[in-house]
């Protein structure tokens, strides 16, 4: 940070990104240099005995051997200098790396003689143009290998240039001070992302709403990193630093709680947690409906969970074309009803209990099932979560739009992709519910879903509630950016939302991503480590965790991190860039004034947050009968900041949510039995 300037344009790489590529290439070229030196030692005297002299014989071979040896030595010196210069300074100290650009430019120009020498080697070893036969087998194999590896290396160089090429790299950030120029640049970036999506996901263009989704996601990506001049490696390094920063903040918070002798926020007493909730809010029913929401994922989830035996498990549930279920309506499945087979296998229900199943999966259109649950006398609508590219584009269409339903405030806004998905789902769901409740008029209506399915289930429930006032929703890992705060408060009476640990999606919203961008910029400016050290530390953190010594030694002034924990984003940015160059301050200015979405969205329902209990003292060495998990009732504001944690993806997976709730229930019963005895 900022991006590297070379050949009159900026690239998607920084001057401190060349340490590891240079060292890696240096090691390879050292091996090549040793091998080519051995070949020269053997072949150089023999070249004077070639059948012909001149450019079709010995002179040609001597020029190739000496030229290759010299070029490899020069490139090794250049790579060593490039690695040394690229490793200097912190991420924002670009002045100390001012020699990187000319060194890199020199390396780019040396590609031309390298190509020429490689053409000569190809003509000598693979064509019958040069009349100088190599009888030594070792030398012949070495030269052929070096020629082939050189072509591969040149191909990788071209690919690397393509990957870091910025189509809008000619933009001068100094010209972006006026608003019209900023708007034009924003439109160009949006158009570029949209074209990339249309090319990479061409099969989605046929979708009814594919183009609209491309435009929405392109606008979001353009707005998130607008005028920040961050390169991808800066974001990765920033996330590693955020992990250290957040662990330091957690340690300080825990220390303050101990000094103040505050009561723990979380508790292992399940009965105490549910003592003031309605009877329908309980973990046993939640586990039951979670299983049904997982069943909506169909056959892909069965194969994912049972990689080797999944086909056998599905085969028992498959239905041939002539044996369709009589009491079930299944749409948009294949000829063998594989999705329907997956639902039956995971739900442990018969085909007659699944009265409707739609597996139509497009942008803004989610598969769902309508199930008759006779054990609990309820009609269950299970909405599938994200599992396809269409679902991901529905997730990423994260802007807010007006959401209307009886009983909600007029200014209510909701996640645009999920709102459109709920509207499409309602058109197919309403006739099915009317027919079903004619058969089972005394049954309750339950909606459930995981991840994206949870968000859509909540919005559908808000639309259905005037007609079915006693409906309930069991939502799992509900996305953070779902609905306005007042509407979220209304849902607390009929929505139970359960989240586990460091779940990423429960904290994922447009505002949380924008705040993450804020903290990435702040943290990059606060560190005193070079980027290559940060990356190496990141690998160590992934394997062994963050050591206590790094919580303080990573920062220039650790006390500044506490000052940066204010909610005033603009003041934070001014403070974070006050010590860096004028150019960095320019490209980072007013990042927070341009929010992608004006409405702030929150997660819905009454939120039960379950976390793994941290074992202290002797518990780490001695196995005790204490519960594994603890929990509390949280509020939506607790999930407005993204946490960079090792389990932030694993805690979102439905099988881990299921395992957590099941463990809590089992330990609750075993703990009760132990105390009774």
User: DSSP for 273-338?
Assistant: HTTTS-TT--HHHHHHHHHHHHHTT-HHHHHHH-TTTHHHHHHTT---TT---SS-EEES--TT-H
pLDDT of residue 591 exceeding 60, the answer is no
- Would you say residue 612 lies in a domain? no
**CATH number, position 330:** 3.40.50.1820
Last residue of a domain, one of 476, 491, 507: 476
In terms of pLDDT, which residue wins out, 228 or 459? 459
Last residue of a domain, one of 476, 494, 529: 476
For residue 194, the surrounding DSSP H or E stretch is helix 179-200
What are 657-669's pLDDT values in tens digits?
999 999 999 998 7
C-alpha distances (whole Å) from 263 to each of 270, 459, 571, 629, 639 are 17, 36, 33, 17, 21
What are 183-236's pLDDT values in tens digits?
676 677 788 778 878 787 776 766 777 888 888 888 887 777 766 778 889 999
- Would you say residue 90 lies in a domain? yes
- Would you say residue 585 lies in a domain? no
Mean pLDDT along residues 340-363: 93
Last residue of a domain, one of 476, 510, 529: 476
Distance CA 528, CA 550 (A): 11
pLDDT of residue 618 exceeding 70, the answer is no
Asked if 444 and 300 sit in the same domain, the reply is: yes
Distance CA 17, CA 22 (A): 9
> What is the residue whose two structure tokens read 């705040």?
515
- Would you say residue 511 lies in a domain? no
> What is the residue whose two structure tokens read 């996640």?
415
- Would you say residue 359 lies in a domain? yes
Asked if 300 and 155 sit in the same domain, the reply is: no
Two tokens, residue 224:
């998130």
Two tokens, residue 239:
């996330």
- Would you say residue 443 lies in a domain? yes
What pLDDT sits at residue 182? 63
- Would you say residue 87 lies in a domain? yes
What are 280-317's pLDDT values in tens digits?
999 999 999 999 999 999 999 999 999 989 999 898 88
Expressed as residue numbers, the domain containing 434 is 272-476
Query: What confidence category does residue 497 fall into, taking pLDDT thresholds of 50, 70 and 90?
Result: very high
CB burial readout 264-300, b (16+ within 10 A) else e: eeeebebeebbeeeeeebebebbbbbbbbbbbbbbbe
CB atoms within 10 A of CB 134: 21
Asked if 314 and 437 sit in the same domain, the reply is: yes
Upstream peptide bond of 2 is cis (omega within 30 degrees of 0): yes
pTM of the model: 0.85
Q: What residues contact 210, with CB distance under 8 A and at least 6 apart?
A: 201, 204, 363, 393
- Would you say residue 55 lies in a domain? yes
Asked if 321 and 467 sit in the same domain, the reply is: yes
The number of distinct structural domains making up the chain is 2
């Amino acid at each position: 940070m900022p991006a590297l300037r070379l050949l009159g344009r900026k690239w998607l790489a920084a001057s401190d990104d060349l340490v590891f590529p240079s060292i890696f290439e240096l090691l390879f070229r050292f091996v090549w240099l040793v091998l080519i030196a051995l070949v020269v030692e053997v072949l150089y005297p023999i070249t004077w005995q070639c059948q012909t002299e001149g450019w079709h014989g010995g002179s040609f071979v001597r020029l190739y051997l000496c030229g290759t040896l010299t070029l490899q030595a020069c490139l090794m010196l250049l790579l060593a200098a490039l690695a040394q210069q690229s490793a200097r300074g912190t991420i924002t100290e670009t002045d100390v790396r001012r020699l990187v650009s000319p060194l890199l430019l020199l390396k780019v120009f040396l590609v031309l003689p390298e190509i020429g020498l490689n053409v000569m080697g190809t003509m000598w070893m693979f064509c019958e143009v040069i009349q100088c036969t190599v009888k030594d087998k070792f030398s012949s194999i070495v030269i052929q290998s070096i020629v082939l590896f050189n072509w591969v290396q040149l191909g990788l160089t071209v690919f690397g240039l393509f990957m870091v090429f910025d189509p809008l790299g000619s933009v001068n950030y100094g010209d972006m001070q006026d608003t019209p120029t900023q708007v034009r640049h924003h439109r160009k970036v949006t158009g570029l992302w949209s074209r990339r999506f249309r090319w990479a996901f061409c099969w989605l263009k046929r979708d009814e709403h594919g183009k609209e989704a491309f435009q929405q996601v392109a606008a979001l990506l353009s707005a998130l990193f607008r005028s920040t001049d961050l390169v991808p490696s800066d974001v990765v390094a920033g996330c590693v630093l955020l992990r250290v920063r957040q662990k330091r903040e957690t340690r300080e918070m825990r220390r303050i709680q101990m000094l103040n002798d505050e009561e723990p926020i979380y508790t292992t007493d399940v009965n105490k947690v549910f003592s003031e909730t309605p009877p329908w809010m309980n973990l046993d029913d939640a586990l039951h409906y979670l299983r049904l929401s997982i069943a909506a994922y169909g056959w892909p989830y069965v194969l994912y969970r049972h990689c080797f035996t999944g086909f056998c498990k599905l085969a028992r549930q498959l239905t041939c074309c002539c044996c369709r279920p009589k009491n079930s309506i299944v749409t948009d499945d294949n000829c063998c009803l594989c999705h329907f087979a997956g639902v039956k296998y995971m739900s442990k229900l018969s085909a007659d209990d699944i009265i409707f199943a739609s597996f139509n999966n497009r942008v803004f259109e989610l598969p769902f099932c309508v199930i008759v649950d006779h054990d609990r006398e309820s009609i269950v609508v299970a909405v599938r979560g994200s599992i396809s590219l269409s679902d991901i584009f529905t997730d990423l269409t994260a802007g807010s739009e007006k959401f209307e339903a009886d009983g909600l405030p007029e200014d209510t806004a909701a996640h645009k992709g999920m709102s459109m998905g709920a509207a499409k789902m309602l058109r197919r769901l309403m006739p099915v519910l009317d027919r079903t409740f004619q058969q089972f008029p005394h049954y309750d209506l339950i909606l459930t879903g995981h991840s994206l399915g949870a968000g859509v289930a909540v919005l559908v429930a808000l639309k259905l509630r005037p007609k079915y006032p006693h409906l309930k929703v069991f939502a799992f890992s509900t996305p953070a950016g779902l609905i306005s705060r007042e509407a979220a408060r209304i849902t607390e009476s009929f929505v139970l939302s359960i989240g586990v640990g460091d779940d990423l999606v429960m904290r994922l919203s447009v505002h949380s991503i924008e705040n993450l961008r804020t903290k990435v910029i702040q943290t990059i400016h606060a560190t005193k480590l070079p980027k290559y050290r940060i990356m190496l530390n990141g690998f160590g953190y992934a394997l062994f965790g963050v050591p206590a010594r790094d919580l303080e030694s990573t920062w220039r002034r650790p006390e500044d991190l506490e000052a940066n924990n204010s909610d005033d984003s603009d003041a934070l940015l001014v403070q974070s860039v006050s010590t860096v160059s004028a150019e960095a301050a320019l490209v980072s200015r007013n990042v927070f004034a341009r929010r992608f979405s004006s409405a702030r969205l929150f997660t819905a329902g009454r939120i039960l947050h379950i976390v793994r209990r941290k074992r202290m003292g002797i518990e780490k060495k001695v196995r005790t009968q204490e519960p594994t998990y603890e929990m509390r009732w949280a509020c939506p504001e607790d999930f407005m900041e993204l946490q960079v944690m090792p389990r932030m993806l694993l805690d979102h997976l439905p099988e881990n949510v299921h395992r957590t709730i099941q463990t809590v229930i089992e330990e609750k019963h075993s703990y009760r039995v132990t105390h009774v005895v």
